Amino acid sequence: MTNPKINILNSELLSDNWYILKKFEYEYTKNDGTVEIQKREVYDRGNGATILLYDKKVQNVILIRQFRMPTYLNGNESGMVVEACAGLLEEENAEECIRRESEEETGYKVNYVRKIFESYMSPGSVTEIIHFFVAEYSKDMKVNEGGGLASEHENIEVLEIPFTKALQMIRNGEIKDAKTIMLLQYAQIHGLLES
C-alpha cells in the first residue's frame, strides 16, 4: 500500500466469523490538496476463480444452479441462481483452483484451461479478485455427476444449455450473476460459440 494520498488511521475488526470484515478510518488527500477523513467497511473473503465450459461441436455451455442466500434476501423469490462454476482459491493458484472446482461442481475434468482476464467484482466493499477462465469440454471428460461437495454443504444442479439459450436467459433475467454474464458475453464477442 503505497498511495501517498491515503493514510490509514485505524482498522477495527468487526467479524472474523467466516471471513474478515473490518472497518477502516483513513485520511484521503483529494486532488485539490484538502484532506478529509473517511470510513469504510471492507470484506476480505480471499480471491476466486470462475470458468465457462463450452462445447464448440454442439454449441452448449455448462452452467450450474444453486441457492444463494444474499439473492434470496434481496428479492430473488427462490434464491436459486444460474451461474458459471466458481470457487475460492485455497492453497493453490487460480488455475489449479478452477480445475478442482470444475470437477467438483460440474463433474467435468478439464485438462486445458485458458485465463482470459481478472476483475474486482465489487470494489466498493469487497477485496476479492476473480480470475476468469474458459475451457472446451466434451462428453468423454465427464468423470462424475458433479453437484459439489457435501462437506461444503453444496447442493448444485448441473445444467447443459445451448449457448443461444444462455444468452436469451441474460436478456430475460434468468441469469443475473455478473461473472456468468461476463463469461457468456466474452464467448459471444470472441466467437467461441455461435450466437
Q: What is the mean pLDDT of residues 138-160?
A: 87
Rg, Å, the chain Cα set:
19
Judged by average pLDDT, the poorest of 8-12, 146-150, 164-168, 185-189 is 146-150
Beta strand pairing call for 48-55 and 129-136: parallel
Which cell goes with 83? Answer: 451461474
The domains found in the chain, sorted by start residue, are 6-44 (no CATH), 48-189 (3.90.79.10)
Instruction: Report which of 85, 135, 141 is spatially closest to residue 112, judged by C-alpha positions.
Output: 135
Q: What is the mean pLDDT of residues 24-46?
A: 96
* pLDDT on residue 116: 98
* pLDDT on residue 130: 98
* pLDDT on residue 1: 66
**56, 192 in Cβ contact below 8 A?**
yes
pLDDT bin (cut points 50, 70, 90) of residue 91 is: confident
Which cell goes with 107? Answer: 463433474
Q: Which residues of 75-106 are buried (b: 16+ CB within 10 A; e: fewer)?
A: eeeeeebbbbbbbebeeeebeebbbebbbbbb
* pLDDT on residue 29: 96
